[in-house]
Structure 1
Amino acid sequence: MQPKQAPILTVDRADTLLPFLLSHQKGKSRNNIKALLTRGQVLVDGQAVTRHDHPLVPGQTVSLRPRLQGGDLPFPLLYEDADLLAIDKPAGLLSTANEREQERTAFRAVSDWLRDRGEGRAFLVHRLDRDTSGVLLFAKSEAVQQRFQNEWNTLIRRRGYRAVVEGAPPEPAGTIRTQLRENRIHKVYSVRSGGKTAVTHYQVERLGADYALLAVAIDTGRKNQIRVHFSELGCPVAGDKVYGAATDPLGRLCLHAHELSFAHPVTGAELLLRSETPRGFSRLVR
């Protein structure tokens, strides 16, 4: 028997997610609701949300997906074969553990899922920032992971993103090329020399009154590269207070790993993995 589908709720006034859910989920406590968020069961406009203070605006939809059974992944599986798997990572979830969070990570969830199926563990191929959503790739063996590490520039064809920025870039399309360095408090910035080269290409897809939706591609995968480049261009990624954003319209960093194109390290097949752009991004540039 299929689990009963929960109704889709439409937001009729500005609110934040936890009080909205408490007002519409009778009989559930704050701890019950927070558990739903932690398990990735709460969807806003079809995207999993884990933050209890996620802001809501009129017209958005909120729904609950049924509790996942016995080791199922708490986020969509985009691709899987004998050597690789890719997920659609939600914003707010770490790719892998850090000094403050060891358990609630994409790596742990995928590793547990594979172990439950008797397939060993996962090996992270690349990372996304906690607040960046989208395509995240894992290998199923250390040998395949090592192949990516050794032949990254040969295997990877394209890393494409969607970003909503405050204002707009000075030109409708362009390439940003700088050298990046990280300071003692782990903030990244551009320097004239002595840093690591970072190259970001962009094109304005849609221009709104306050924001612009950009198609972004990177030649290099430096830490916080996209965020730093658009901040220094005068149009920070919306929701990115670390790098100068003044607004947080969706309660998350408005950066999404939209596509990953690469040659399969074992079969040689050309693969293109895509994750749909969050609907909230388009709403900001209507």
Structure 2
Amino acid sequence: MTDEPNEIDGDLYEHHHIVVDAGQDLLRIDKFLMDRLPNVTRNKVQAGIKDGFVKVNGAEVKPNYKVHPMDEISVMLPEPPRDEELVPEDIPLDIVLEDDHLLIVNKPAGMVVHPAYQNWSGTLVNALAFHFQNLPEMKGNDGRPGLVHRIDKDTSGLLVIAKTERAMNGLAKQFFDHSIERTYYALVWGVPEEPSGTVYVNVGRSLKDRRVTMAFPDGDFGKHAVTHFELIEDLRYVSLLKCNLETGRTHQIRAHMRWIGHPLFNDTTYGGSEIVKGTVFTKYKQFVQNCFKMMPRQALHAKTLGFIHPVTKKKIFADSELPEDFSSVLEKWRHYIDHTD
């Protein structure tokens, strides 16, 4: 795929040029483009096709056109594409561990990991580009130097960054093999019936809203996903869980916790920003709303990270404290439970 801004067809500019893989199955072009283009809805893709902004082999097509192997698809829009050159920004980094090959950073909630639609600046990658030069890029991950994994914008916690090609290759293999040890702390609604358990449920993009990850218990859609959880603290209406990822799918913990009936506290996307458990009393509702204000994000923190150093072969383990918003809300719940019947 290329993103070269070429003025063509009058005042149209080419934003994407895609050559379909030789092994591609026949697939409707609107579905194909939804998978290939970032941050677009099916309605937006279909509207672009109907407006003549999408051409296959130089000709306009209908939304139900099925792409064929080696088709050349051009997506053209009236405005020039955005210059996606990475801009280094002097943003402080909370570095937990660093050597010549890698570093581990503690990402604050609210920081996007890499530049993307509506978040072109202020990201972790913008900060990395300022503090480090010539970070490697993983194949297929252009424009995201150093990254081998990521966490959501409003999730806080630990990320490992590769500083050399050797480190990137070694870390990428461990993520592929699911041998990286990742522990998250999650404040969830309710208390699981069993103090520990494992969720084996496929997850994938919702068929209705591609911004949301859904659980597919029948295994007919999505990808294999496994989350192990353990109860750390029972706070009657909410509980603190330790979650270990065996796989690392997008929004995996958030989708899995919702599936088992314990959405993350104040997770607006997955039903946790409503009062899921508790009383009907006004005083309780006000207490919960105050907690939401203290922590205006999902209560999820990537607490520990463990792996084999790709160069020294020594075991690396990093731990992090819960951020202030998380620990304050946790303490507020403890106080509430201790002082109510």
Q: Under a length normalisation based on structure 2, what TM-score does the superposition of the two structures give?
A: 0.58
For 2:311, the aligned partner's letter is: V
Aligned to 1:90: 108
Q: Quick check: 1:176–1:200 contact (8 Å CA) kept in 2? A: yes
Q: Distance in 2 between matches of 1:134 and 1:252?
A: 14
Asked whether 1:260 is paired with 2:305, we answer: yes
* 1:53-68 equivalence runs, <5 A: none
Deviation (angstroms), 1:72 = 6.8
Secondary structure of 2:120's aligned partner: coil
Is the partner of 2:125 in helix, strand or coil? helix
1:234/1:241 CA distance change after superposition, 3 Å: same
Instruction: Tell me if the contact between 2:110 and 2:153 (Cα under 8 Å) persists in the aligned partners.
Output: yes
1:223 paired residue among 237, 250, 258: 250
Matches within 5 A, 1:116-195: 122-154=145-177, 156-183=179-206, 184-191=209-216, 192-194=218-220, 195=222
Is the CA contact 1:213–1:285 (under 8 Å) kept in the aligned structure 2? no
Contact 2:91–2:122 (CA under 8 A) maintained in structure 1: no
Q: Does 2:228 correspond to 1:201?
A: yes
Please list the CA deviations of residues 240-265 of structure 1 after superposition, one character each: whole Å capped at 9, or x if unmatched: 11101115351121000000000011
- Displacement of 1:202 in angstroms is 0.8
User: How many angstroms apart in 1 are the aligned matches of 2:135 and 2:215?
Assistant: 41
2:122 counterpart (87, 95, 104)? 104
Percent of aligned pairs with the same residue?
Answer: 32
Query: 1:262-282 deviations in whole A, cap 9, x for unaligned?
Result: 001111110001111232253
**In structure 1, C-alpha distance between the alignment counterparts of 2:135 and 2:260, rounded to whole Å:** 44
Q: Deviation of residue 209 (structure 1)? A: 3.4
Deviates more, 1:100-109 or 1:242-251: 242-251
Do the aligned partners of 2:108 and 2:157 also contact (CA within 8 Å) in 1? yes
In the alignment, the residues of structure 1 paired with residue 332 and residue 102 of structure 2 have an alpha-carbon distance, to the nearest angstrom, of: 35
Structure with the greater relative contact order (CA < 8 A, sep ≥ 6): 1 or 2? Answer: 1
Task: State how many pairs are aligned.
Answer: 213
Task: Determine which of 222, 241, 254 is the counterpart of 1:214.
Answer: 241
Q: Which has the larger radius of gyration?
A: 2
Q: Which amino acid aligns with 1:224?
A: H
Matches of 2:196 and 2:91, distance apart in 1: 38
Q: 1:182 to 1:219 in 2, by over 3 A?
A: same
State the SS of the aligned residue for 2:169.
helix
Deviations 1:100-139 (A, max 9, x none): 1111101111221114xxx657411210000100001111
The residue correspondences of 1:238-257 to structure 2 (distance < 5 A) are 238-245=265-272, 246=274, 248=292, 250-257=295-302
SS of the residue 2:225 aligns to: strand
Assess if the C-alpha contact under 8 Å between 1:164 and 1:238 holds in 2: yes
Number of the residue aligned with 1:37: none
Contact 1:134–1:275 (CA<8 Å) still a contact in 2?
yes
Q: Any gaps of 5 or more consecutive residues in structure 2?
A: 1-88, 137-144, 276-291, 335-341
Distance 2:318 2:241 in 1: 19
The runs of 4+ residues in structure 1 deviating greater than 3 Å are 119-122, 153-157
Query: Which residue identity does 2:128 align to in structure 1?
Result: V
Secondary structure at the counterpart of residue 229 of structure 2: strand
Give the CA RMSD over aligned residues. Answer: 2.0
Pick aligned residue for 2:259 from 232, 235, 240: 232
Note the residue ranges of structure 1 that are not aligned, 5 or more in a row.
Answer: 1-70
**Counterpart pick for 1:283 among 326, 331, 341:** 331
Query: What per-residue deviation string (whole Å, max 9, x for no partner) do you get for residues 172-203 of structure 1?
Result: 21111101121243211121123211111111
Structure 1 residues 103 and 72 mapped into 2: Cα distance closer, same or farther (>3 Å)? closer
TM-score for the superposition, normalised by structure 1? 0.69
